[in-house]
Structure 1
Amino acid sequence: MMHYPNLVPPDADFRRITEAAVVQRERISRVAEVVARGMGNLFLIGCGGSYNDFSAASYLADRAARLPTFLFNSEEFNRRRPVLLGLNSVVLVASHNGTTAETIEAARRARTAGAHVIGFTKNHTTKLAAECDEVFTYNSDRTILAPKQVLIGLMVTALLREAGSELDFAMIDQAYCAVPAAFEKAIEEAESHLHEIAKAFGSDPFTYVLSAGPNQGAGYGFAMCYLMEMQWKHASWFNANEFLHGAFEVVQPDTPVLLFKGEDDTRVVIDRVEAFLNRNTQRCMVIDSKDYSLPGVPSSMRGEISPLLLSTLSKRLAEHYQAVTGHLLTDRRYMFKTSY
């Protein structure tokens, strides 16, 4: 294996932590069976990275749910006060540290309205956990995205099953069971390409990041959470198709653009944008889930799983950036340091 100076090794506990999330699917099924009785709508609520963690589940629900599903930033939910929130609502809330004030308030508002609130957080002692009817945890401060998104995906899938959606649930379950080993393998397979991206873009002060469909969270999260928050670099995320309706006018031969490309029906959107970029900039780079073997994931389910893979690879890419730039991902100017 090639050595990359200053690169932290992958989390040795990645597979174990992600397997611990998959194992919770039986409890998830039991909870879903109860809370889905009389369920009239579903709300998915979080801020920042936790908001992004709902991206794939929201896309799946839009395609398969026989009931209204809403994805909200926590504070937007609190201020908008959706009239459909009530006794027949199921509300999923997420916050890693469980201290995000807006998300805690959202959980309280939802419970006050009579909704059933299910939380996803680091452990059972967080402040958010205390505000939820049910809590699912992953107990890790480094491997976060994969287990949290697995738990969310399993829960939304279980709710869809109880609500009568027509999906191949056995194949979906098989795909999720394969995730821990498949993603561990993908991180190994991706190292050289991720380092290439970090070296190519690491000195740039500004990067455009594009993604689409269920992969929006991976792209948006990389731009906002990793480049802007953790690397202090200017970045802008766009839905890939929306980029073609104005923003693409800024593209020059040296404009750096990073594409996150999955295997769902919106792949054609990325194909179209990639073709444009390859004609107009010499600095388009792509993270494509098709490049990874994903052993054990049924071919028909790769589109369901690839958004989670792209998120996992985005975190590893951020660690390659850290190795190249020397700026620690833990460095902050404001977050956790000042009032905001």
Structure 2
Amino acid sequence: MGIKEIVEAINEERQSVGGIKNVVWLAAGGSYGGFYPAHYFLDQESRVIRSKNITSNEFVKAPPVFVGENTLAVVCSMRGTPETIEAAKVAKKRGAATIALYIDESELTEVCDYKLNYDSVALDDSDFSKTNAAYGLLMAMVVMDTVEGYEHMETAMQSFEKVDTLYKQAVIDIRTKAIKWSLQNRKSKSIHIMGSGAAYGAAYIFSICNIMEMLQIDSPTVNSCDFFHGPFEVIDEETSVFLLMGEGGSRPNDERAARFLQEFGGEKVFVLDSRDLGLDKIDPKVAEHFNHLIFSPILNNVFMRELAYQIKKDYTTRTYMWKAAYN
């Protein structure tokens, strides 16, 4: 079954309790960040559906009281993270319908009612319209269209068809800038990542998964809107800042931050504009919701890899992950 068929089946099954009224997006780490565009879409666009993006173990320990029979729980893990499997079990116990997004079969795909296999964001030959983030966003749009209608659904579907081509062209177009950024930051001990609106999830993943986890470099994530309420006090000519300037209503917040950084920052201020990645080729009625689908793989597969090369770091190695017990 495809996403549309699964969502329609769940909504029909749940008609006795009013159909789908809530969606929870459950995952850990990069998979959690990958659900940000789906949650952001429903949070911004829907008038009737409640959406919550929550990390797996937080959901296990403190599930929201609204989760019940009229809730859809979308659960993502590449290979079956134990905390995420437990989150799926908690969601089912509370009566929610469950969908697993996965790469490798695991107990998660056994626990959940439905399952969808996605393409890895880290593999160059993936179809980037079929990553976990892309499927999450598509599911959010389908849920809204099914429950209350989404006036730009056709435009959005046409935009998904452009994602893979736009991403692969962006890889070529941005390579030189990524090399220059990596050369400027090969000795940086801390790299601040900034973004806002629909692009904030990509900024978050770049910080916690790419810079901190893979390269073991300190990397705070700062919302461009909150930059002037504390974080800008650490800016000087030596501060390394990577700012995502996205499409959508929050773009002026990114532009405001960029103006300040260009005045008070130094050579290690870098602005990655969505328009340099081809997002201006997507219809502006839906473009902001596609920020993440281009930004996130570009950050992982171009910028992170280039910096790893410059610092001579094997980004598949870890200090604690898969080694130290933390249960």
TM-based fold match above 0.5:
yes
Q: 2:34 aligns with which of 29, 46, 53?
A: 53
Pairing of 1:303-314 with structure 2 (within 5 A): 303-314=288-299
Cα offset for 1:77? 1.1
Cα offset for 1:252? 1.1
Cα offset for 1:299? 4.7
For the residue of structure 2 that corresponds to 1:244, the secondary structure is helix
Cα offset for 1:275? 0.9
Match of 2:314 in 1: 328
Match status 1:95 vs 2:77: yes
- Alpha-carbon spacing, 1:221–1:214, altered in 2? closer, same or farther (3 Å): same
Contact 1:64/1:165 (8 A) holds in 2: no
Contact 1:94/1:103 (8 A) holds in 2: yes
For the residue of structure 2 that corresponds to 1:234, the secondary structure is coil
Match status 1:127 vs 2:107: yes
Distance in 2, matches of 1:138 and 1:51, equals: 15
Range that drifts further, 147-156 or 104-113: 147-156
Cα offset for 1:40? 1.6
Cα offset for 1:36? 2.5
Distance in 1, matches of 2:245 and 2:315, equals: 24
Match status 1:288 vs 2:273: yes
1:179-203 Cα deviation digits (max 9, x unpaired): 1122111111111111121111121
Cα offset for 1:257? 0.6
Match status 1:228 vs 2:212: yes
Contact 1:260/1:288 (8 A) holds in 2: yes
Q: Tell me how large the CA RMSD over aligned residues is.
A: 1.8
- Alpha-carbon spacing, 1:135–1:106, altered in 2? closer, same or farther (3 Å): same
AA matched with 1:43:
V
Distance in 1, matches of 2:121 and 2:36, equals: 21
For the residue of structure 2 that corresponds to 1:82, the secondary structure is coil
Contact 1:52/1:220 (8 A) holds in 2: yes
Contact 2:280/2:287 (8 A) holds in 1: no
Distance in 2, matches of 1:238 and 1:96, equals: 27
AA matched with 1:262:
G
For the residue of structure 1 that corresponds to 2:304, the secondary structure is helix
Contiguous gaps of at least 5 residues in structure 1: 1-25
Contiguous gaps of at least 5 residues in structure 2: 13-18
Distance in 1, matches of 2:119 and 2:274, equals: 27
Q: 1:202 aligns with which of 178, 183, 186?
A: 186
Match of 2:15 in 1: none
Count of matched residue pairs:
313
For the residue of structure 2 that corresponds to 1:96, the secondary structure is coil
Cα offset for 1:297? 3.6
1:154-211 Cα deviation digits (max 9, x unpaired): 1111111001143310000000011112211111111111112111112101111111
Distance in 1, matches of 2:42 and 2:127, equals: 20
Distance in 1, matches of 2:274 and 2:284, equals: 12
Contact 2:279/2:291 (8 A) holds in 1: no
For the residue of structure 1 that corresponds to 2:222, the secondary structure is strand
Distance in 1, matches of 2:169 and 2:135, equals: 20
TM-score (norm 2): 0.91
Cα offset for 1:62? 0.7
Match of 1:28 in 2: 3
Higher relative contact order (CA 8 A, sep 6+): 1
Cα offset for 1:220? 1.0
Contact 1:186/1:294 (8 A) holds in 2: no
Range that drifts further, 141-150 or 167-176: 141-150
